[in-house]
Structure 1
């Protein structure tokens, strides 16, 4: 592996925290995470210099700017919350928007709702004086007749047959109008039995189980396994994706995110590729989650000439090594714990994986030594 490595800002920050906040020495941390000690010392010095030069508080002259930013934040927050409650009326008519504004006028400012919904305040006030138009009153009368004919049919008729009954009774209305009124009121025709759902095959992108539980490769960077787990914080869930080298059980790449998307697993795999720089042909095993069947995941594997492998549907034993790591992580570090923030959880994960699990924790499948030590012995024996 090349010694000229480019380290990410997140990696540098977490490594510096081990020295400044947790009290480890530079030599100890550098040895555990595989960084030259003079490099780590430079990171620590830069962090301390930046901390000393950062201002402790805003100058008094910036108070007006702070007030402006607070007002802007209040406006943006209000405009963000209005669509959350009005998403069902954004595509409806003006009168539906006016009705929403009348219900929420004590919760949001009227000018803000007019701006977000795209209506005029004068029109809203005019609607308040005469909320029901002639057309709306006619719809209410017609709806009463629709309910009468629909109930007379035993709840069987749809809008087409109800329209025929109305025309026979002397009403002049289109079936589209009847359909709109019945849909808004929740009136529908009686339909037959639905077909029994059945399995129609896996999602697009699923590949076969090439690994087939062969969890003991003969060399590093031959087989990797990856999976996702979740961690509780008071800010919400934090999702962790990890990539493990099955030869030594070392975590060669990992990433965290508040959402469980394909970007999360790609970040973990990119970290593994950046860290190990493997030769083409690495077998990457995962489950059939939508993150691993996505086109982005498949394109990345193809671009780096990696071979995909997936567990069988609903069979967690096909990826038991990754599940075993998550079990050890939760039993040894985060059992019955809720982190205050996602950042605190990520920092503790760095401490567990990079400072303990990879360089120190003894592993039974690695001959009772740590994954890093096990790979060092392999390198010595192969030379």
Structure 2
């Protein structure tokens, strides 16, 4: 932030008059007003257009593109800009790329034999308490992963038991 931009921000942020902010910064008021009232330079215009282009590509990507990928997109559109300039603009405006989540299954082929399919892939039951099945789900939270395992009655779809924990082998509890 330049000295003049700092002086201008003091009035809007803290109600400090320009004259006082100029005196405290050691610059003349005429210099500040000359800076404030000057027309934008070609460099300022290019920077504003570049910032808008970076924001558009970032928003169009759903917030997943970082500076290298945004640079590729902008160069395809005819811009001559480096990835470092784009990274600086993104940091200045708080644009942070989100990485794509990789799907990863919990079940992997192991050395132990698979459990027998006792319900023969038929997930309905003629009466209550004759057949049940279980499922495990991984839930991503801000504090890390949470695993939820449930057992349901296949007739009534009622939850018979569940377990939650930071690991996939948590103990069982009954629903209330």
The TM-score by the shorter chain falls in which range? Answer: 0.3 to 0.5
**TM-score scaled by length of structure 2:** 0.48
Q: TM-score w.r.t. structure 1 length? A: 0.24
More helix by share: 1
Q: Higher strand proportion, which one? A: 2
